[in-house]
Amino acid sequence: MERIGVLTSGGDAPGMNAAIRAVVRCAAYHKIKCMGIEQGYEGLINGEIHPIRVRDVGSIIQRGGTILRTARSERFMTPEGRHEALEQCRKNKLDGLIVIGGDGSFHGAWELQKLGMPTVGVPATIDNDVNGTDMTIGFDTALNTALDAVRRLRDTAHSHDRLFIIEVMGRNCGFIALQTAVAGGAEYAVLPEYGLDLNRLCSKLDASRASGKNYSLIILAEGVMSGYELQKKLLEKGPQYKATVTVLGHIQRGGSPSSYDATIASRMGAYAVNCLIDGTYGVMTGLQNGHMVPVHLPDTWEKKKMLNPELLHLVEELSI
Amino acid sequence: MERIGVLTSGGDAPGMNAAIRAVVRCAAYHKIKCMGIEQGYEGLINGEIHPIRVRDVGSIIQRGGTILRTARSERFMTPEGRHEALEQCRKNKLDGLIVIGGDGSFHGAWELQKLGMPTVGVPATIDNDVNGTDMTIGFDTALNTALDAVRRLRDTAHSHDRLFIIEVMGRNCGFIALQTAVAGGAEYAVLPEYGLDLNRLCSKLDASRASGKNYSLIILAEGVMSGYELQKKLLEKGPQYKATVTVLGHIQRGGSPSSYDATIASRMGAYAVNCLIDGTYGVMTGLQNGHMVPVHLPDTWEKKKMLNPELLHLVEELSI
Amino acid sequence: MERIGVLTSGGDAPGMNAAIRAVVRCAAYHKIKCMGIEQGYEGLINGEIHPIRVRDVGSIIQRGGTILRTARSERFMTPEGRHEALEQCRKNKLDGLIVIGGDGSFHGAWELQKLGMPTVGVPATIDNDVNGTDMTIGFDTALNTALDAVRRLRDTAHSHDRLFIIEVMGRNCGFIALQTAVAGGAEYAVLPEYGLDLNRLCSKLDASRASGKNYSLIILAEGVMSGYELQKKLLEKGPQYKATVTVLGHIQRGGSPSSYDATIASRMGAYAVNCLIDGTYGVMTGLQNGHMVPVHLPDTWEKKKMLNPELLHLVEELSI
Amino acid sequence: MERIGVLTSGGDAPGMNAAIRAVVRCAAYHKIKCMGIEQGYEGLINGEIHPIRVRDVGSIIQRGGTILRTARSERFMTPEGRHEALEQCRKNKLDGLIVIGGDGSFHGAWELQKLGMPTVGVPATIDNDVNGTDMTIGFDTALNTALDAVRRLRDTAHSHDRLFIIEVMGRNCGFIALQTAVAGGAEYAVLPEYGLDLNRLCSKLDASRASGKNYSLIILAEGVMSGYELQKKLLEKGPQYKATVTVLGHIQRGGSPSSYDATIASRMGAYAVNCLIDGTYGVMTGLQNGHMVPVHLPDTWEKKKMLNPELLHLVEELSI
């Protein structure tokens, strides 16, 4: 292993830069040269590849986004595109490739692995929807960003005796919504894993008012419906369910990584390099029960990661 | 002056609690009793009035929202409602009333003043759209909240080479949008005071791309149009103007007050009590060039407060 | 189980209020009355005990510190004091007691348990030095506070080409120092578990300068020595090791809990109530591999919790 | 004016980078080339001068510290050093020089101006101790950092019924201490402008306890004495004045600039370029009553800037 490449792919997540830094530094520690690939698989196909050195990653550990930028690549979806990508790997003499991204990016990594390119994935997405790892890079930061917003909205909700719907990200998974509901002390979480039970939600809001609460917060995962749709459905149930909507949107994707994310990004980036050195390819760097383990890439998407039912029960128990 | 009342009215703003604390503490310092009125003019009419003591406001200086809550009152719009309000002032033996809110609230304060109730207004609104004071309570905090969001979005915009439209609050004024554009290093600010010049915006975006920037941020004041409308208009101009929209919404209204807001809230609350003691009624506590001055209430809305043209020019000059 | 008591003891930690809220709400959910005990064991002895209801804990989930306050109790160290405490439990008809605090507080809880009072401990300390639980309440928040400080200091260190020593909390354990060094990208961590190897530290600083870095950050755990002592020792080694010291101090103990801490505090508080209901006494609510488990109280202090050696190695690998 | 230089000098302050960006961008807007000078006057003497272009300052607006770094220069204190500096200005064909820093840096700027080098100063120091400008760049950010720390410490002070001494920066001026005391709701501010009146402080603490407050916060400006000295003096007065000390230290100097600081840094940087273009030399870019004005450089240090006595009175009035 003399030379490896690193790219970021899919949606950006806080901590991607910390992972890039760890890859570059750990590679240098083991006397391996590192090449940075711009704009994900698209840049790989285009040969946007340049050396990335120890000093180039100084102080990026705290920066949001990704200095290598990221993109979605239509061309990489085709066999031709993937062969061009492989060709670039060979042309640049890459003995290994590290792909930082979510499950979509890992499909791509697996394709390259199948073509013979030693590839390791590092899970980075705010959605936490990657099987085989307890946490993905960026999830904890997004949770804190969402929680900060919930706390601000609570000020206004309380001051105006209002019902708020707060739409958070998470694609088809409820990880962000569920933990934000628990940590934010919300009355209700609407999650893709369970769908919307409008009558149950209304009963809960009735009970909350009856118990003396003058305001309520509903956390809605974007994967169920939009905040405006839920607002409409609630209003059809009666004027007492009139709600104000806030869509947190892309602010959840940015910002400096939290301590937790900067730490696992550092661990995962370094572990990915060690996997390549040890000849453990076609895997993702998984965090399981506090330990780094290699996870066969197809396992990361073939099984759906489950919500913790304990948390769901907590939202109900603690919002009385 | 033996007994005064204090209420918050209109939209909540960070620092309202710091102003309430200052009113209560300064009154106590001068041996004046203070009554808290719940939910603005609506609560005044309903007689939701209770003593509020020195220890009741301990540690609220840092809390967002308003512990007295706020509401809009239809009834207070009518002469009957206002007479009921006046009646409550008399019944509760209030020698003076302090109204914390924006220009809408000051119309109400002026009506009570005209009926003979000594009234002083304290300007608190994130929009800064009150004439006669350089700054309103809450504006600085909202600016920092908006700026924090812009910085997070910049991470993603840069990582994905994207154009972002960020819709900020401000009602019919561009104060939040303009300063956020300057402080956030945005390419363009769309302001109610000037309207949208779509061709100019597109030229600016072209120039920005031409100069090597891979992403752009547009700050849009809600008073012009919604972010989604602007997104549509831009897309009609060409696919190169495809933009992602983020509506910051109510998160701009919450949170702990900044140092600046906690300070002016403390100054204004105390000054309002001193105005009542000195017999200076029918005024707002204005901050002009660093000094507290009484401003005749009708002056606060009869003249429109102007944007600083220097800032507007700065956005153009510095985003090249 | 009709009536339980809850107290906080030892140093305060962010998330203690979230745990109190969870205890009160979960108890109410199961129709159990909850009594709040002020100022820890001292207040228990003094009978400072009052009902704490569902609405009393509204919106405290986000507040730092503890609304029940905390104190160290000399009297509780004596058998007489503990019997007075037990007497108060009986007088107030407490069927169970929940103690939120660190390992010192758990010694006290175990004494009461041995006297026949059903007691459950909830681990809350920023130091994370409690065996049997992967994380204690407050640790994650303290990590983020320390990291925020490190990032600020890095700005100045970089601008002035300086060496900084940053002293963090943690008593006799290096958990805060080690993770802060990893997440903050520091050059070196000085930890109680390993002691100070001054020559090794100086070699590392030499190597860092040689590699082109113009500044360095050393994270020092308070349990080893004070920042000023280390500063002196370094200066004795040569003028090139002149360092600036910052002692983070008590700011690490305050602030709103992070999403992680608010979540585990909610889980642990609710689990503690369920332990009492289920007749599982004399235990701490431990978080192990993502699951709540009861941990025999003496196990929490009889075995020392170990640092993750992988993290220690990372500091060296990634700071080249 | 074809070519200008820019340097940062003295202690770093949040917003220095925003000012550098504004200088570079505004110069480019007026077709003026800009040279960056590393490490202040020391780098000027050493000829560490390089072109700094529009894209080099992309996204630095939000970064703390200074990308040009800063240093204190012994050599520049001598006539020989200053002539070498002037020689470098000529060698690099600089038609003007912009110095971003505090009053010490302006002494140097004035020396260069007297030697015939057109020079403009931009006030940047967290201490706000520069006459002729209402605010210096960095002051508002430092206030918010200090306030955030005070709020964290309040959590612990309240939970443990303690007296806290919080030592803040400000050199020989009390600007940071005074506004932090007002905004933080502290009981007392000890300021260099008034010195310590120990008996008065103790009376205040007695009154505060008597009124039912269980904790107190004292804000101490570093210019009076160290927090540990004050702690000792208080303890000599009696055990009831036992205090815990926190020295905020260098964290006050770092971090992203607040909205206010990013805005005035942008205004001042652009105004400095315009001063040079207009032939207004030997001045500081002052902010007075919301407007930019040129201030004769010696005026910035010959007269001492005064505290606002209204704020001092507020601390007393509002902490009852």
Percent of chain C exceeding pLDDT 70 equals 100
D271 shares its domain with D164: no
Domain boundary among B254, B282, B315: B254
Write the pLDDT tens digit of every residue in B25-35.
999 999 999 99
Q: To which H or E segment does residue D218 belong?
A: strand D216-221
Catalytic residue among B56, B95, B103, B127: B127
Domain membership flag for residue A318: no
C8 shares its domain with C48: yes
Q: Which residue of D has its CA nearest to C8?
A: D159
Q: Which of A312-316, B258-262, B277-281, C217-221 has the lowest mean pLDDT?
A: A312-316
The shortest CB-CB distance from D251 to any of C12, C14, C153 is to: C153
Percent of chain D exceeding pLDDT 90 equals 95
User: Exposed, middle or buried, A42 (CB in 10 Å: 0-12/13-18/19+)?
Assistant: buried
Catalytic residue among C56, C95, C103, C127: C127
Question: Which chain D residues touch C244 with a CB distance below 8 Å?
Answer: 250
Confidence of residue A13 (pLDDT cuts 50, 70, 90): very high
Residue D320 predicted with pLDDT over 80: no
D66 Cα to chain C: minimum distance (Å): 6
Residue C57 predicted with pLDDT over 80: yes
Whether C154 sits inside 8 A of D69 (CB atoms) is: no
Q: What pLDDT is recorded for position B59? A: 85
Question: Which chain A residues touch B249 with a CB distance below 8 Å?
Answer: 245-247
Question: Which chain D residues touch B21 with a CB distance below 8 Å?
Answer: 185, 318
Q: Which residue of A has its CA nearest to B161?
A: A69
* Interface chains of chain A (3 or more CB pairs under 8 Å): B, C
Whether A14 sits inside 8 A of B155 (CB atoms) is: yes
- What is the distance between the alpha carbons of residues B234 and A250, in angstroms, rounded to a whole number? 20
Question: Which chain D residues touch C247 with a CB distance below 8 Å?
Answer: 247, 249
Whether C253 sits inside 8 A of D69 (CB atoms) is: no
B55 Cα to chain A: minimum distance (Å): 20
Whether A292 sits inside 8 A of C314 (CB atoms) is: no
Confidence of residue A274 (pLDDT cuts 50, 70, 90): very high
Whether D149 sits inside 8 A of C70 (CB atoms) is: no
C8 shares its domain with C134: yes
Residue A320 predicted with pLDDT over 80: no
Q: What does the H/E/C string look like for chain A? A: CCEEEEEECCCCCCCHHHHHHHHHHHHHHCCCEEEEECCHHHHHHHCCEEECCHHHHCCHHHCCCCCCCCCCCCHHHCHHHHHHHHHHHHHCCCCEEEEEECHHHHHHHHHHHHCCCCEEEEEECCCCCCCCCCCCECHHHHHHHHHHHHHHHHHHHHHHCCEEEEEECCCCCCHHHHHHHHHHCCCEEEECCCECCHHHHHHHHHHHHHCCCCCEEEEEECCCCCHHHHHHHHHHHCHHHCEEEEECHHHHHCCCCCHHHHHHHHHHHHHHHHHHHHCCCCEEEEEECCEEEEEECCHHHHCCCCCCHHHHHHHHHHCC
Residue A28 predicted with pLDDT over 80: yes
D112 Cα to chain B: minimum distance (Å): 28
Domain membership flag for residue C319: no
Whether D179 sits inside 8 A of B263 (CB atoms) is: yes
Domain membership flag for residue A320: no
Whether A267 sits inside 8 A of C183 (CB atoms) is: no
Residue A303 predicted with pLDDT over 80: yes
Question: Which chain C residues touch D46 with a CB distance below 8 Å?
Answer: none
Determine the average pLDDT of the residues in D124-141: 98
Whether C251 sits inside 8 A of D69 (CB atoms) is: no
B167 shares its domain with B250: yes
User: For position D200, which CATH number holds?
Assistant: 3.40.50.460
Question: Which chain B residues touch D286 with a CB distance below 8 Å?
Answer: none
Residue to mutate among C318, C319, C320, with most A CBs inside 10 A, is C318
Domain membership flag for residue D307: no
Confidence of residue C228 (pLDDT cuts 50, 70, 90): very high
Determine the average pLDDT of the residues in D251-273: 97
A314 Cα to chain B: minimum distance (Å): 26
Residue D72 predicted with pLDDT over 90: no
The shortest CB-CB distance from A250 to any of B69, B246, B251 is to: B246
Whether C151 sits inside 8 A of D71 (CB atoms) is: no
Q: What pLDDT is recorded for position A98? A: 98
Confidence of residue A253 (pLDDT cuts 50, 70, 90): very high
Q: What pLDDT is recorded for position B319? A: 85
- Name the residue with higher pLDDT: D86 or A211: D86
Confidence of residue C214 (pLDDT cuts 50, 70, 90): confident
The shortest CB-CB distance from C317 to any of A26, A151, A310 is to: A26
Determine the average pLDDT of the residues in D229-241: 97
What is the number of domains present in chain C?
Answer: 2
Domain boundary among B254, B276, B291: B254
Q: Is B261 a catalytic residue?
A: no
C32 shares its domain with C114: yes
Whether B55 sits inside 8 A of D211 (CB atoms) is: yes
Q: What pLDDT is recorded for position C56? A: 93
Please give the residue range of the domain that contains residue A53: 3-138+257-302
Which residues of D carry out catalysis?
127
User: For position B97, which CATH number holds?
Assistant: 3.40.50.450
Percent of chain A exceeding pLDDT 70 equals 100
B7 shares its domain with B112: yes
Q: What pLDDT is recorded for position D214? A: 86
Domain membership flag for residue A123: yes
Confidence of residue B291 (pLDDT cuts 50, 70, 90): very high
Whether A64 sits inside 8 A of B152 (CB atoms) is: yes
Question: Which chain D residues touch B54 with a CB distance below 8 Å?
Answer: 211, 320
Write the pLDDT tens digit of every residue in B171-222.
999 999 999 999 999 999 999 999 999 999 999 999 988 988 889 999 999 9
Residue to mutate among C164, C263, C264, with most A CBs inside 10 A, is C263
D27 shares its domain with D85: yes
The shortest CB-CB distance from A183 to any of C26, C134, C263 is to: C263
Q: Which residue of B has its CA nearest to D54?
A: B320
Question: Which chain C residues touch D149 with a CB distance below 8 Å?
Answer: 251
C281 shares its domain with C134: yes
B186 shares its domain with B294: no
Question: Which chain D residues touch B307 with a CB distance below 8 Å?
Answer: none
D126 shares its domain with D161: no
D241 shares its domain with D266: no
The shortest CB-CB distance from B182 to any of D143, D213, D263 is to: D263
Question: Which chain D residues touch C12 with a CB distance below 8 Å?
Answer: 155-156, 159-160
D80 Cα to chain C: minimum distance (Å): 24
The shortest CB-CB distance from C318 to any of A144, A185, A266 is to: A266
- Average pLDDT over chain A reads 96
- Read off the amino acid at residue C304: K
Write the pLDDT tens digit of every residue in D148-199.
999 999 999 999 999 999 999 999 999 999 999 999 999 999 999 999 999 9
Q: What does the H/E/C string look like for A223-292? A: CCCCHHHHHHHHHHHCHHHCEEEEECHHHHHCCCCCHHHHHHHHHHHHHHHHHHHHCCCCEEEEEECCEE
Whether A185 sits inside 8 A of C317 (CB atoms) is: no
Residues on chain B bordering chain A, Cβ-to-Cβ distance under 8 angstroms? 8, 12, 14, 16, 39, 63-66, 69-71, 145, 149, 151-156, 158-161, 164, 214, 244-251, 253-255
Q: Which residue of C has its CA nearest to D246?
A: C249
Q: To which H or E segment does residue D114 belong?
A: helix D103-114
B120 Cα to chain A: minimum distance (Å): 22
Write the pLDDT tens digit of every residue in C22-56.
999 999 999 999 999 999 999 999 999 999 999 89
Q: What pLDDT is recorded for position D250? A: 95
Whether C70 sits inside 8 A of D154 (CB atoms) is: no
Write the pLDDT tens digit of every residue in C257-275.
999 999 999 999 999 999 9
Please name which of D42, D315, D38 lies closest in space to residue D186, comparing C-alpha atoms: D315
Distance of CA D317 to the CA centre of its chain: 28
Q: What pLDDT is recorded for position C59? A: 85
Domain membership flag for residue B183: yes
D78 Cα to chain B: minimum distance (Å): 37
Residue D1 predicted with pLDDT over 80: yes
Write the pLDDT tens digit of every residue in B136-158.
999 999 999 999 999 999 999 99
Domain membership flag for residue C308: no
Residues B212/D55, Cβ–Cβ less than 8 Å: yes
This complex has an ipTM of 0.97
Q: What pLDDT is recorded for position C302? A: 95
Q: What pLDDT is recorded for position A201? A: 97
Domain membership flag for residue A312: no
A115 shares its domain with A15: yes
Claim: this prediction has a pTM higher than 0.90: yes
